[in-house]
């Protein structure tokens, strides 16, 4: 009402413009004077004009109203546009290979989108997704030990890739075309912590071949596992996307009984949004990492994986 009086010059004309009574306008202006402790209007001939205090208050009011309007517009846009925060959790290999290109594409196409990323294991990040602390999760699932997904989640497969045995170039099996898992009996293994997808799949795969795993090195970062492999201290089972970067002296040898890992985008079905859909689409465009390396020295060789979804 203060602004209306300043624009129209009189209480009567302001009331007419606002479709209220002149007494209602006067009561509101008197209340503003009391609440602010300042006189906000002063006589100007037959009309009224803003005092200095009135102009200060009017400017702040205009700023607040503009911000309210922008907020209402953004909230309306959320139903249709890709903007605002997008909290992503992912296994490390997908962070290195899939997310950089996808996030760059999103930044170009949707500059008002604000993504954030944290890496970790499915066992740790799934509760965050279910509690609404993450919006989108990239999980790994091994064919011999599929990941458990609770009800109420939407799923979009991104990558289906081969798992190979990582051994040192000095290992007796390094020059073989294929390795049987039973042949790794007696070789110490490196893996992520117990309960993680990689660890449980490794244990199950070796036990399925009658071998009790000797997992001596529990390391959550695959590049660290590969450093021990290069030093001929351990072997590991490593999917294609996790084979880069690899230090010199590592061989990635196919398995006689093929083993595969899938990377899948997962989100809560009741929380699907334009940012989630845009990110999943961008990830799908990049769901084919470069071919796996045969060794740390020959990083350009290997066979491509199959992408599903």
Residue 296 has pLDDT above 50, yes or no: no
Lowest-confidence segment of 14-23, 93-102, 243-252, 298-307 by average pLDDT: 298-307
pLDDT given for residue 122 in this prediction? 94
Cβ of 293: how many Cβ atoms within 10 Å?
22
285: phi then psi, degrees, rounded to nearest 5:
-65, -20
In this prediction, residue 287 has a pLDDT band, given cuts at 50, 70 and 90, of confident
Q: Pairing state of beta strands 113-119 and 84-90?
A: parallel
Dump strand ranges (E) for the chain.
Answer: 41-44, 47-50, 84-90, 113-119, 136-142, 153-168, 189-191, 215-218, 236-239, 250-253, 259-268
Whether the Cβ atoms of residue 246 and residue 299 lie closer than 8 Å to each other: yes
Residue 231 CA, distance from chain mean position: 34
In this prediction, residue 14 has a pLDDT band, given cuts at 50, 70 and 90, of low
In this prediction, residue 33 has a pLDDT band, given cuts at 50, 70 and 90, of confident
pLDDT given for residue 79 in this prediction? 57
CA distance between the termini of the chain: 58
pLDDT given for residue 35 in this prediction? 82
**Could you tell me where the DSSP H helices lie in 185-273?**
197-208, 222-230
Angstrom CA distances, 188 to 177, 212, 261, 295, stand at 21, 11, 22, 19
Give the tens place of pLDDT for each residue, 189-203.
Answer: 999 999 999 999 999
**Could you tell me where the DSSP H helices lie in 2-51?**
2-8, 11-18, 22-36
Dig out the tokens for 97 from the structure.
Answer: 């290979």
Q: Which of 106, 201, 92 is nearest to 139 (CA)?
A: 92
Query: Tokens 């970790």 sit at which residue?
Result: 120
Dig out the tokens for 178 from the structure.
Answer: 């294929």
Q: Which of 294, 295, 168 is nearest to 233 (CA)?
A: 168
Q: Pairing state of beta strands 136-142 and 84-90?
A: parallel
Bond prior to 245 in cis (omega within 30° of 0): yes
Give the tens place of pLDDT for each residue, 61-102.
Answer: 767 766 776 676 566 555 567 899 999 999 999 999 999 999
Give the tens place of pLDDT for each residue, 230-267.
Answer: 999 999 999 999 998 899 999 999 999 999 999 999 99
In this prediction, residue 187 has a pLDDT band, given cuts at 50, 70 and 90, of very high
Taken in order of first residue, the domains within the chain and their CATH numbers are 2-77 (1.10.10.10), 84-285 (3.40.190.290)
Count Cβ neighbours within 10 Å for each residue of 105-129 and write b for 16 or more, e otherwise: bbeeebeebebeeebbbbbebbebb
Q: Is 130 helix (H, G, I), strand (E, B) or coil?
A: helix
Give the tens place of pLDDT for each residue, 137-169.
Answer: 999 999 999 999 999 999 999 999 999 999 999
Enumerate residues 6+ apart whose C-beta is below 8 A from 123. 195, 196, 197
Residue 17 has pLDDT above 90, yes or no: no
Q: What percent of the chain has pLDDT over 90?
A: 64
Better-predicted residue by pLDDT, 74 or 304: 74
In this prediction, residue 32 has a pLDDT band, given cuts at 50, 70 and 90, of confident
Residue 286 has pLDDT above 50, yes or no: yes
């Amino acid at each position: 009402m203060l602004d209306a009086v300043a624009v129209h010059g009189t209480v009567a004309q302001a009331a007419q413009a606002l479709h209220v009574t002149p007494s209602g306008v006067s009561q509101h202006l008197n209340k503003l004077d009391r609440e602010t402790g300042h006189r906000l209007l002063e006589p100007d001939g037959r009309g009224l004009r803003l005092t200095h205090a009135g102009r200060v208050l009017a400017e702040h009011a205009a700023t607040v109203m503009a911000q309210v309007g922008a907020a209402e517009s953004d909230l309306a846009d959320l139903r249709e546009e890709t903007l605002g925060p997008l909290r992503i959790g992912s296994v490390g290999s997908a962070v290195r290979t899939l997310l950089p290109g996808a996030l760059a594409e999103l930044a170009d196409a949707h500059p008002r989108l604000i993504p954030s990323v944290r890496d970790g294991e499915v066992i740790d990040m799934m509760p965050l997704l279910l509690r609404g602390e993450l919006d989108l999760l990239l999980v790994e699932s091994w064919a011999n030990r599929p990941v458990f997904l609770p009800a109420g989640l939407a799923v979009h497969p991104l990558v289906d890739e081969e798992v190979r045995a990582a051994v040192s170039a000095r290992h007796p099996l390094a020059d073989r075309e294929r390795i049987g898992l039973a042949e790794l009996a007696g070789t110490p293994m490196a893996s992520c912590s117990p309960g993680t997808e990689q660890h449980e799949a490794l244990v199950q795969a070796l036990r399925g071949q009658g071998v009790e795993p000797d997992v001596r090195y529990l390391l959550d970062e695959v590049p660290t596992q590969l450093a021990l492999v290069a030093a001929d201290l351990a072997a590991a089972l490593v999917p294609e996307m996790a084979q880069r970067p690899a230090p010199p002296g590592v061989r990635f040898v196919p398995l006689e009984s093929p083993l595969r890992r899938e990377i899948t985008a997962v989100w809560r079905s009741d929380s699907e949004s334009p940012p989630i859909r845009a990110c999943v689409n961008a990830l799908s465009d990049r769901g084919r990492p470069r071919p796996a390396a045969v060794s740390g020295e020959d990083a350009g060789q290997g066979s491509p994986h199959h992408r599903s979804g």
